[in-house]
Structure 1
């Protein structure tokens, strides 16, 4: 269903591979959670948006989307991100939680551990993915400290594995997994995990003036780390952990106010590159 009316809400959840196999949030069967609208598509300057869903969570209304907006008929993942965040911008979104599945580069991590990234290394090839805003984006605090704290607290209540409250996320393009040599290069650079979605989302969130935080489920060892990963274990995690991750996101969102002193909004400045 295509619609021109973007619902107004300050809250959004970006679904990734860790909740892809369920109907989020319906399959969580929560008493305070109700879907208000489904199959919402919007025309954006970057093409037709991915399908959104609007749900009620207590007194909040929350926009959500599957797989970071990636889908077969979109030109690039960067374009999918532009469509997604343009809609968030029009909706007035100020608080964003995201999730994904990552490979462990740090050899101390294990499958089913949860990491809440504090920083990133961008090795993607998505150049200058933005919305054209006249801003200087400061990335010294890429993820919201209060959002991270809430995600860690939610994860510690329900995690199957261990929970780590900091990690450096290496972003690559995929859709293939990385080579052994690439993983070793990322390890030398200081990365703990590798995935394909934190960038450009973290930049676009900053551009629209929104707080961004995410949690990631370790689904395999990256190539050359500890041991070769097995497809059956990856499949088992993919189908058996989504409700756990979904509940973490919901628990964190319940506790999230619109306004708080996190400092994220101060890291978007007016550009100095202006015609005189």
Structure 2
């Protein structure tokens, strides 16, 4: 893997110390505008592209994020890996606020988000049993272990619609399902990254215990922001460490995800769809 290293996350991360030749890149996509301009620069001999998921100033709620445009923009500038940095609630006692989880599974509970590039004349079915790139997740875990003490390898991220936090009943049910963390932003982001043949991994920052814990206070925006402020510098250090571990060994098959995924007869794909998806499927047509 020798392309651009993409990072999607919170607003504070685009001010990374040590980035050189920093520039703002506005990317147009057939799916509309991404959350914001991409901040592109050089770090540790790699080109890094950062996209604030909610836009600068946190203007977009999770349901309003244009996930297709965000992932397409990363693909268009040449990213072959995306590290998602996300705040989550812990659903397990052992995952304490302030801990980091490098998840390996997702459970999608979102309801209102366009979740595929394949529509309007093109049907595609990716393999998504293992939604996280094992090579990238391994690099992220090793990097996180070098920066902080409490890092968990593996776990299931339940993605809820939001923007309200869970009711107590929902929180208890989610706990019974055995999920490890809960958040609002990694779906359909992970699924779209696979459709775009981009390696994807999540650095989940536990900020609270949702509202299930008998002793800890219920989740609040104030509590989340307090933990996130303390974790911004650690996140920057982890991104730097991941960059040092790239390129990946190339053992994954993320870059071949569409090889047998497109079901539609190429002759029946409408010209408009062919044009819209040429960046993603052009090599297979």
TM-score (norm 2): 0.81
Residue pair 1:68, 1:197 contacting (<8 A) in 2 also: no
Q: Distance in 2 between matches of 1:188 and 1:202?
A: 24
Cα distance in 2 for partners of 1:218, 1:73 equals: 21
The structure 2 residue matched to 1:262, chosen from 215, 227, 252, is 252
Q: Does 1:45 align with 2:33?
A: no
The structure 2 residue matched to 1:150, chosen from 135, 139, 145, is 139
Report the TM-score, using the length of structure 1 for normalisation.
0.84
Matching of residue 236 in structure 1 with residue 226 in structure 2: yes
Contact 2:54–2:60 (Cα < 8 Å) also in 1: no
Instruction: Describe the shift of the 1:76–1:229 C-alpha distance in structure 2 as closer, same or farther (beyond 3 A).
Output: closer
SS at match of 2:187: helix
* Distance in 1 separating the partners of 2:248 and 2:95: 33
Q: Quote how far apart the aligned CAs of 1:202 are.
A: 0.8
CA-to-aligned-CA distance 1:212-246 (integer Å, 9 cap, x gap): 01111110011122432365543431222201112
Change (3 A) 1:36 1:184: same
1:60 Cα deviation after fit: 1.6
Deviation, 1:73, is 6.6
Return the offset for 1:36: 2.3
Aligned to 1:72: 59
How far apart are the structure 1 equivalents of 2:206 and 2:61?
27
Q: CA deviation at 1:103?
A: 0.3
Shift of 1:259: 6.0
Q: Which residue of 1 aligns with 2:282?
A: none
Gaps of at least 5 residues in structure 2 are 269-285
Is residue 129 from structure 1 mapped to residue 115 from structure 2 by the alignment?
Answer: yes
Does the residue aligned with 1:135 lie in a helix, a strand or coil? coil
Aligned match of 2:203 in 215, 219, 231? 215
Mapped to 1, the partners of 2:60 and 2:87 lie a distance apart of 22
1:162-201 superposed Cα distances (whole Å, 9 cap, x missing partner): 1100110000121111111111221222211000111011
CA RMSD for the aligned pairs?
2.6
Number of residue pairs matched by the alignment: 258
Do the aligned partners of 1:68 and 1:81 also contact (CA within 8 Å) in 2?
no
Match of 2:188 among 200, 212, 219: 200
Contact 1:210 1:265 (8 Å CA) reproduced: yes
Could you report, residue by residue, the CA deviation over 1:80-133 in whole angstroms, capped at 9, with x for unpaired residues?
111111212222321111111110111222101110011011001135422236
Query: How has the CA–CA distance of structure 1 residues 144 and 75 changed in structure 2, closer, same or farther, with 3 Å as cutoff?
Result: closer
Contact residue 9 and residue 62 of structure 1 kept, 8 A: no
CA distance in 2, matches of 1:206, 1:73: 23
Structure 1 residues 41 and 56: alpha-carbon distance in aligned structure 2, compared to 1, 3 A threshold: same
Q: Match of 1:4?
A: none
Q: Give 5+ residue unaligned stretches, structure 1.
A: 1-7
